[in-house]
Chain A
Amino acid sequence: MKIEHWWYTAPLRLKSIFGRRRADDELDEEMQFHLDHKIEQGIAEGLSPEEARYRALRAIGGLDQKKEEMRDARRVHWLTDFVDDVRYAVRSLRRTPGLTALVVVTIALGIGMTATPLSMLDALVFRPYPVPHPGDVVTLVSTSRDNGFEKFSYREYLDIRDRTKSYDGVVANGNLTTVGFSAEREATPLVRGGMLVSGNYFRALGVEPQLGRGFRQDEDEAPGRDAVVVLSWDFWMREFAGHPSAVGRVVRLNGRDFTIIGVLPEAFTGLYVFDRPDFYMPLAMERFFSAGSQKDFFTDRDDRVLTLRARLAPGVTLRGAQNELAVVARDFERAYPKLNRERGAAVRTMFQMRTQDSDANWKFGVIFTTLALVVLLVACTNAAGLLLSRARTRTREIAIRLAIGAGRSRLIRLLLTESLVLALLGGLGGIAIGYLGIRFMQAFSIPAELPVRIPFRMDGRILLASFALSVLSALLCGLAPAMQSTRADLVRGLKSAEGDEPAGRKRLWGRNALVVAQVAMSLMLLAATFLMIRGFQHSIGDGPGYSTDHILMVRFDPRLVQYDATQTARFYEQLAERARETPGIVSAGYTQNPPRGLGQFDHVAFVPEAFQMPRDRESFASSMDTVDQGYFETMGVPILRGRGFRASDTATSPRVAVVNEQFAKHYWPGADALGKRLRLDGADGEPVEIVGIARTIKYSSGPATSADDFLYLPLAQHPIARMILLLKSSEDPLQLIQPVQDAVRSLDANMPILETRTYEDLYRYSTVEGPGVGVRLVGTLGAVGLLLAIAGLYGLVAYNVSRRTREIGIRIAIGARPRDVIRLIMGKGLLLVAVGTVIGLAMGIGLERLMNSMLFNAGGVDFVVYLTIVPAMLLVTILAAYLPARKATRIPPTLALRCE
């Protein structure tokens, strides 16, 4: 029935759309045919031709109305009307090019300002995984008291994979790690990013290699046996120029031969937002890529370094999967009470993974997007204001249309079509602006070891969102003016030409609300800008508390050339010795990760000795760094009490540690932490004596202002393979690069230097340039918002002046002084500004709370900010209202009186 219905009606609809003129002609012909017969009939009955014709027409009862009725019967009139409306809108907009341009630019700014943050937010939170059916892919996490997003160990992975039934495959991957890659046996290794993945990784995720094959399950079974590697498409294009012969070639990874078995499709860029692996190795090859942890990847159940992803089986709910995993976690806790005490497990969605509380990026994304939407709102209210004043000049036109029978809803549709045309033009401009903004973000470089791909882009999703926002803005800025102008009083509208219009309260209410909203929103934007700047300034605090200049950082990873722990220790020792002998080098030291670097600090679990542990806790955790005896001097971190590390702290001497002041105060308030002991890795761990207390400095690169507990362990007692050599020079630190390279070559000609950078670069990035991007973004938003608000206020006051020209003229004629006129005109504007300011202040303080809780870990209200922006705002808005008011005082009374 349904299909048959369409069979008959679809051609008719198409005909009505495309053969519109012909259909109309046929209509005419059909009616004419009827009329002719009716007239003939009349003449046959003895009427005169005129009488017959008149009777025929009367019988039909309004030829044109009937035709219109028949056109409506075609059910496509909405479309044909729309086309007519667009045509009409374009014509009428062309008649007021200045105003049109203004509205288009306003909306373009609004949309453009939104596109960039939206692309950020999309990349950081919403963009689905680049795999088929991405919605089914979940992440399994281990949970502890302090952290709901921990990883699993290899043993745990195998158990979970084998014991759960909720999934079509559970896969695991390690972190993106730096790998020494050489295409030829003899070539010096280049640093590239590799990722260890389980044998079923690509199969379970549904990623079909574009070339060659993915891993077989048996290639991920015997540790160290199958040296195979799968390349990402990007890497294949870059290193092998996209040549198919790459598959089957043998390359060297960390000095060992691996055979390339496949190339992934271009679309698969990995499941992480920022990390883009160049190639993938089976988990079983872990030993060649291990981070040198003291735990054994394959056997230690607490070597939790794997991220687990799983594809939910059809019909399995998140809750069902969650319950099943919880049972497995309880079994783990029962079977391994020591290792899994108070450890649970949870299933997390992509959204949950990407909006972790510890990650600041997405929060910036949310804040930027919110602010941008506010700017868009300001832009829309401005456009609405402009359209409203345009509508006023058309009162007469609209009154005539209403008078000759146009329906109100039909007129509103016509006016909305106009604003839609405007908004779409603005949207196009906005997309161009947004494109530039995104390009600006992409051009940003991050001083990381592996190049970081900025994932923000102008793609179909952002285009679609911008388009949707344009349509929404059309409704927002067009509806109010359309409603208002079609409510016009017919009689009055027809009578008065352009002059005064009745100042109904209702009518002005909308405009006043617009101004209040604009002032409030731009005040909030300004507050956000300043709070952002102040927040970052705060996080820099009274300077770093250590030296940032004249330091060169050189990164090594001797595992890339197959060094074992002893060789590594000897290499670092000898290198430091040579460095200290080199002229121009004041001091040298090692660190795993410099303060405010881009890497994450390791965490260490510990139990302070003779400390009353809370009953429900096994141990505490703290960030830590592994350093050597030269570190504190080189970095300029003062040891406040006790001592730093010494050459005499060796692998065989009693174990020692240095803590920061914050740490000491935290665990031994009011007592001396010096000489106290800690047990690392739980209550039965090795005792370590605190021999020194260092000044508390800020370690993490985020904007948080609070200081953390921090623990330093000596490199000699806590060997780590990947280290950074810090060199303090008396001259330009870059001049040390050559001597360092010579020193390294004299120790081992093959040792790759992974990264060379001055510490100042890094510091500048994490304290000035990185936050600078945010400040610039918010600042741009604030500036555009303020500009729009000023234009809006100016427009409103100017509009009021023009509306009341005659009244003002009369007032001047009967003796009003300029001061009275200014008071008359400005009084209202200033009242609105005042109301807007109060609302804006409230919103600003609300926003400050949000920003503090999300980013800066700070409480309280920053009065300096408001004391700066409120007077500035008032000054600017008063000026915006004063200029048109002053113009009003110059209205010659004669002109005003002749106005009618």
Chain B
Amino acid sequence: MSKPTDLVQGTLDLLLLKILALGPLHGWAISLRLGTISGDVLQVSEGSLYPALHKLEQEGWIEAEWKQTENNRRAKFYSLTRLGRKELESEKANWQRLSSAISHVVQLAEA
């Protein structure tokens, strides 16, 4: 299985925080959502999703709660904490800085 685009180190965190900022989700839903919103451009290996979620939880950025799903199964729902919201803001700012810098560089090279 070839990976179309390797995620830049640390961007997975940003993506996860962003997705959870829209509302609490369980792991499976997150993996589906990742595929849809990035238009399948960004493929996150399912293997690395859960360790990443756990890391965010241990950092205190997201918290987990066991709830019933629509088809009546118990699932672990993740949601953003206040700390996580702050982290998302600063990550977003970082990302924008970085991406604008990179696109600037890329355009230079074309000229």
User: A-side interface residues toward B, CB under 8 Å?
Assistant: 4-5, 7-9, 12, 26, 29-31, 33-34, 37-38, 59-62, 66, 69-70, 73-75
Given contacts A4-B83, A59-B45, is CB(A31)–CB(B58) below 8 Å? no
A52 to B110, CA, bound (A): 45
Residues A73 and B46 in contact, CB atoms below 8 Å apart: no
Residues A8 and B63 in contact, CB atoms below 8 Å apart: yes
Residues B28 and A34 in contact, CB atoms below 8 Å apart: yes
Chain B residues with Cβ below 8 Å from A5 are 60, 83
A812 to chain B, nearest CB (A): 60
Chain B residues with Cβ below 8 Å from A70 are 50-51, 54
Chain A residues with Cβ below 8 Å from B50 are 30-31, 34, 66, 70
Stretch at the interface among B13-21, B72-80, B92-100: B72-80
* Chain A residue with the shortest CB-CB distance to B86: A1
* Chain A residue with the shortest CB-CB distance to B82: A4
Chain B residues with Cβ below 8 Å from A31 are 50
A12 to B62, CA, bound (A): 12
Given contacts A4-B83, A34-B31, is CB(A12)–CB(B58) below 8 Å? yes
Residues B46 and A37 in contact, CB atoms below 8 Å apart: no
Chain B residues with Cβ below 8 Å from A33 are 26-28, 73-76
Residues B60 and A73 in contact, CB atoms below 8 Å apart: no
Contact residue among B46, B51, B82 (Cβ-Cβ distance under 8 Å from A59): B46
5 smallest beta-carbon distances between A and B, as pairs? A8-B60, A61-B47, A73-B54, A70-B54, A69-B51
**Taking the complex as formed, is B59 at the interface, i.e. its CB lies under 8 A from any CB of chain A?**
yes
Chain B residues with Cβ below 8 Å from A8 are 60, 63, 81, 83
* Chain A residue with the shortest CB-CB distance to B69: A33
A29 to B50, CA, bound (A): 12
A59 to B28, CA, bound (A): 13
| Residue from B28, B63, B73 having most chain A Cβ neighbours under 10 A | B28
* Chain A residue with the shortest CB-CB distance to B73: A33
A201 to B99, CA, bound (A): 73
Given contacts A9-B58, A33-B26, A74-B54, is CB(A38)–CB(B47) below 8 Å? no
Contact residue among A9, A38, A66, A75 (Cβ-Cβ distance under 8 Å from B51): A66
Chain B residues with Cβ below 8 Å from A34 are 27-28, 31, 46, 50
30 contacts across the A-B interface (CB closer than 8 A)? A4-B60, A8-B83, A9-B58, A12-B57, A12-B60, A26-B76, A30-B27, A33-B26, A33-B28, A33-B73, A33-B75, A34-B28, A34-B31, A34-B46, A34-B50, A38-B28, A38-B46, A60-B46, A60-B47, A61-B45, A61-B46, A66-B51, A70-B50, A70-B54, A73-B54, A73-B55, A73-B58, A74-B54, A74-B58, A75-B58
Given contacts A4-B83, A66-B50, is CB(A30)–CB(B60) below 8 Å? no
Given contacts A61-B45, A73-B57, 11 further A-B contacts (CB under 8 A): A5-B60, A8-B63, A26-B76, A33-B74, A38-B46, A59-B45, A66-B47, A66-B50, A69-B51, A74-B54, A74-B58
Chain A residues with Cβ below 8 Å from B74 are 29, 33
A30 to B64, CA, bound (A): 11
A65 to chain B, nearest CB (A): 8
Please report whether the interface of chain B is mostly helix, strand, loop or mixed according to DSSP: helix
Residues A9 and B59 in contact, CB atoms below 8 Å apart: yes
Chain A residues with Cβ below 8 Å from B27 are 30, 33-34
A878 to B76, CA, bound (A): 71
Proximity string of chain B (28-61) to chain A, C-beta cutoff 8 Å, 1 when within and 0 when not: 1001000000000000011100110011011110
Chain A residues with Cβ below 8 Å from B45 are 59, 61
Residues A59 and B47 in contact, CB atoms below 8 Å apart: yes
Chain B residues with Cβ below 8 Å from A74 are 54, 58
A33 to B26, CA, bound (A): 9
A33 to B49, CA, bound (A): 14
B74 to chain A, nearest CB (A): 7
* Chain A residue with the shortest CB-CB distance to B29: A37
A634 to chain B, nearest CB (A): 86
Chain A residues with Cβ below 8 Å from B58 are 9, 12, 73-75
A873 to chain B, nearest CB (A): 59
* Chain A residue with the shortest CB-CB distance to B56: A73
A72 to chain B, nearest CB (A): 8
A66 to B49, CA, bound (A): 10
A59 to B34, CA, bound (A): 15
A62 to B48, CA, bound (A): 11
* Chain A residue with the shortest CB-CB distance to B63: A8
Chain A residues with Cβ below 8 Å from B26 are 33
B49 to chain A, nearest CB (A): 8
* Chain A residue with the shortest CB-CB distance to B75: A33
* Chain B residue with the shortest CB-CB distance to A31: B50
A29 to B26, CA, bound (A): 12
Chain B residues with Cβ below 8 Å from A37 are 28
A38 to B49, CA, bound (A): 14
A440 to B57, CA, bound (A): 58
Proximity string of chain B (91-109) to chain A, C-beta cutoff 8 Å, 1 when within and 0 when not: 0000000000000000000
A12 to B55, CA, bound (A): 12
Chain B residues with Cβ below 8 Å from A9 are 58-60
A4 to B84, CA, bound (A): 11
Chain A residues with Cβ below 8 Å from B73 are 33
Chain B residues with Cβ below 8 Å from A60 are 46-47
B5 to chain A, nearest CB (A): 17
A75 to B54, CA, bound (A): 11
Chain A residues with Cβ below 8 Å from B75 are 30, 33
Residues B76 and A30 in contact, CB atoms below 8 Å apart: yes
Chain A residues with Cβ below 8 Å from B83 are 4-5, 8
A61 to B3, CA, bound (A): 14
| Residue from B55, B60, B74 having most chain A Cβ neighbours under 10 A | B60
Chain B residues with Cβ below 8 Å from A59 are 45-47
A29 to B66, CA, bound (A): 11
A4 to B83, CA, bound (A): 8
Chain B residues with Cβ below 8 Å from A26 are 66, 76
B4 to chain A, nearest CB (A): 15
A62 to B47, CA, bound (A): 8
A29 to B73, CA, bound (A): 11
Chain B residues with Cβ below 8 Å from A69 are 51
Chain A residues with Cβ below 8 Å from B47 are 59-62, 66
B25 to chain A, nearest CB (A): 12
Chain B residues with Cβ below 8 Å from A12 are 57-58, 60
Chain B residues with Cβ below 8 Å from A73 are 51, 54-55, 57-58
| Residue from B47, B57, B63, B81 having most chain A Cβ neighbours under 10 A | B47
* Chain A residue with the shortest CB-CB distance to B84: A8
* Chain A residue with the shortest CB-CB distance to B81: A8
Chain A residues with Cβ below 8 Å from B31 are 34
A435 to B92, CA, bound (A): 64
Chain B residues with Cβ below 8 Å from A66 are 47, 50-51
B78 to chain A, nearest CB (A): 10
B46 to chain A, nearest CB (A): 5
A38 to B27, CA, bound (A): 11
* Chain A residue with the shortest CB-CB distance to B26: A33
B76 to chain A, nearest CB (A): 5
Chain A residues with Cβ below 8 Å from B46 are 34, 38, 59-61
A33 to B29, CA, bound (A): 11
Chain B residues with Cβ below 8 Å from A62 are 47
Chain A residues with Cβ below 8 Å from B57 are 12, 73
A186 to B39, CA, bound (A): 109
A69 to B60, CA, bound (A): 18
A74 to chain B, nearest CB (A): 6
A62 to B82, CA, bound (A): 33
B20 to chain A, nearest CB (A): 15
B54 to chain A, nearest CB (A): 4
Chain A residues with Cβ below 8 Å from B51 are 66, 69-70, 73
| Residue from A4, A29, A37, A61 having most chain B Cβ neighbours under 10 A | A37
A338 to chain B, nearest CB (A): 77
Chain A residues with Cβ below 8 Å from B28 are 33-34, 37-38
Chain B residues with Cβ below 8 Å from A38 are 28, 46
B48 to chain A, nearest CB (A): 8
A260 to chain B, nearest CB (A): 63
B91 to chain A, nearest CB (A): 15
